Structure 1
Amino acid sequence: MTEQPQPGGPAVESGRLRVAVAVEPGMGVVTVAGELDHDSVGALDSAFDQLTQAEVSRVLLDCRELGFCDSTGLNALLRARLSAGEAGRRFGLVAPGPQLQRLLTVTGAAEVFEVYPDLDTARVDT
């Protein structure tokens, strides 16, 4: 059984993906490191689920250390964005790397995400 990420708790590892959740004033930040694919997407879904109870107006996915994302991971990001929107929250990606940027561009998904170069920029965008 995979341990569930807790807001403000330690990072959780699932296969080749490490996920951590932090709640800051007004926003939840999910940080991922490693590879987001079919085998590890459950940990990311669990992290987003943890934030459903948090009183935040935005959810950010910090991708600085995400080295790989496949179509299963992209679908998880799209679901998280949709879920955030349905809850009246904004959803953004922070510092997606070249591989994720290419995946977003090729699939046309780049147009639906707010993308920030770093967390500091994302924090000041209200």
Structure 2
Amino acid sequence: MDHEAVGTAGLGRLHVEVGQQGGSTVFTPSGELDHHTADLLAEPIAAAVDAGASRLVVDCSGLEFCDSTGLNVLLGARLRVEALGGGVHLAAMRPTVARVFEITGADAVFTVHETLDQALQE
């Protein structure tokens, strides 16, 4: 997938911004993270980890939906980063997205923060 296409695939259903704040690489997905859009988040995460990022923060405040494919993207990132001694932090999950993590038990394997600021301060 062309990296310039980030945020345009899936009929604009997902847009992902990537930034650096302190020692954290921050991913801000907005829209729907599902089978059709998962690569839009998976590719920049993989690129960041390949470049040496070991502390990833995902600002979920704009994430309206996440299915099992999206969850698997985050779980895969967690495994890769933890192998490097780092971690994946999730911040500001909306109730519908948080419910997916609760139902699957995935909320127990991530560090979950109520706000992005809390995730960045830890």
Instruction: Report the counterpart of residue 105 of structure 1 in structure 2.
Output: 102
Matches of 1:123 and 1:72 in 2, distance apart? 26
Gaps of 5+ in 2: none
Which letter does structure 1 place at the counterpart of 2:81? Answer: A
Instruction: Report the counterpart of residue 14 of structure 1 in structure 2.
Output: 9
Q: Tell me whether 52-61 or 24-33 shows the greater mean CA deviation.
A: 52-61
**What TM-score, normalized by structure 2, do the two folds share?**
0.89
Which of 57, 62, 66 aligns to 2:59? It is 62
**What TM-score, normalized by structure 1, do the two folds share?**
0.86
Instruction: Report the counterpart of residue 118 of structure 2 in structure 1.
Output: 121
Matches of 2:50 and 2:63 in 1, distance apart? 25
CA contact (8 A) 1:36 1:66 kept: yes
Which letter does structure 2 place at the counterpart of 1:50? Answer: A
Instruction: Report the counterpart of residue 8 of structure 1 in structure 2.
Output: none
Which letter does structure 2 place at the counterpart of 1:39? Answer: H
Matches of 1:13 and 1:28 in 2, distance apart? 21
Matches of 1:109 and 1:55 in 2, distance apart? 25
Tell me the CA shift for residue 54 of structure 1: 4.1
Matches of 1:112 and 1:25 in 2, distance apart? 24
Q: Per-residue CA shift, 1:72-92, capped at 9, x if unaligned?
A: 111111111111101211111
Matches of 1:109 and 1:86 in 2, distance apart? 18
Which of 89, 94, 107 aligns to 1:92? It is 89
Query: RMSD in angstroms over aligned alpha carbons?
Result: 1.6
Give the secondary structure class of the aligned counterpart of 2:119. helix
Gaps of 5+ in 1: 6-10
Which letter does structure 2 place at the counterpart of 1:33? Answer: S
Higher helix fraction (1 or 2): 2
